[in-house]
Amino acid sequence: MGRPIRILLQTTIPTALDDWSIARFSLLSNLLRTIQDQSGQRLFEVTARDRDALGAPDSVLSTFDQGQFDQLWLFAVDIGNGLTPDDCNAITRFRDNGGGMLVTRDHMDLGSSICALGGVGAAHHFHTRNVDLNALQEVDDPYTTSILWPNFHSGANGDFQTIEVMAPSHPVLSNSQSPTGLIRYLPSHPHEGAVSAPPGQDARVIATGRSQTTGSVFNLAVAFESERGKGRALAESTFHHFADYNWNPGLGAPSFVTEPIGDALGRNPVAMGDVRRYARNIALWLANLPVH
């Protein structure tokens, strides 16, 4: 193969020790760097960064359509002010020109600045922006009362959830080592966000979860296929599926995270294998490479 595929792991906040800065996604970054092709060459070159500052166009995101990267993994951890119009326009042009994107957020209004992204932004629903009028607007996580809907409780940080793969199964969810041939487990989180497939786009829900408090079924991931020259994209219900704290709670979390933690994921190598496989599959699929 030629040069490695260039992936940017990017948050929507400036670097802050007591927040969800990019340093808290180090296990994902290291995993992607280890993926090799059949000849033993590394497939991906990974850059991980936080945005420059709030309130002004970011030096990288505002020019993202100029060819520095092949994929953007965007972790929207802001309170609604994380992306400027210039950032959103350049990111939209990036996908319009064939770039691959993972865009993820969390509960309530956390990460709601991504609503301004073309196409993929419409898949993300928040408490006050792009509200899903077809969904129940009720609190699902009854334990952290300061967090309002959407906040689906799939389990404790550090544990894992059993997912349902929607038919036909999507390549992102394949796992040849699984007895079902599919990924069965993802990290759990006490309050996941809401995503759906926007009408008029080549997009569909590929996996769902189930609330551990109410039994409600909620969407975990929406896949956008290539259409009219656009790149592939994945809209994800929570960045906690990829955070160090959810893969290994011993690595810590910001001080404002107070929910009880679990340790089931770290004790279950099968579930942990699914989690790693999911991240690997996303990177391959976004690059239009075979997922096997």
- 3-class SS at 187? strand
| Structure-block tokens of residue 196 | 């759906």
Paired strand residues for 10: 49, 74
- Cα 29 to chain centroid distance, Å, stands at 13
Short-list 243, 214, 248, CA closest to 29? 243
Length of the chain: 292
- pLDDT for residue 59: 98
Short-list 185, 252, 245, 260, CA closest to 220? 185
- pLDDT for residue 1: 55
- pLDDT for residue 3: 87
What is the distance between the alpha carbons of residues 190 and 212, in angstroms, rounded to a whole number?
9
Short-list 244, 172, 240, CA closest to 206? 172
Short-list 244, 243, 246, CA closest to 263? 246
- 3-class SS at 218? strand
Interior angle at CA 105, CA 103 and CA 108, nearest 5: 145
- pLDDT for residue 114: 98
Distances (CA, A) of 15 to 33, 54, 81, 132, 208: 22, 11, 15, 31, 32
- pLDDT for residue 261: 97
What is the distance between the alpha carbons of residues 222 and 173, in angstroms, rounded to a whole number?
12
Short-list 123, 128, 122, CA closest to 110? 128
- pLDDT for residue 136: 79
pLDDT by residue for the chain (292 residues), tens only, comes to: 578 999 999 999 999 999 999 999 999 999 999 999 888 899 999 999 999 999 999 999 999 999 999 999 999 999 999 999 999 999 999 999 999 999 999 999 999 999 999 999 999 999 999 999 888 799 999 999 999 999 999 999 999 999 999 999 999 999 999 999 999 999 999 999 999 999 999 999 999 999 999 999 999 999 999 988 999 999 999 999 999 999 999 999 999 999 999 999 999 999 999 999 999 999 999 999 999 7
Domains of the chain: 5-286 (3.40.50.880)
- pLDDT for residue 40: 87
Is residue 163 within 8 A of residue 152, CB to CB? The reply is no
- pLDDT for residue 292: 78
What is the distance between the alpha carbons of residues 248 and 149, in angstroms, rounded to a whole number?
26
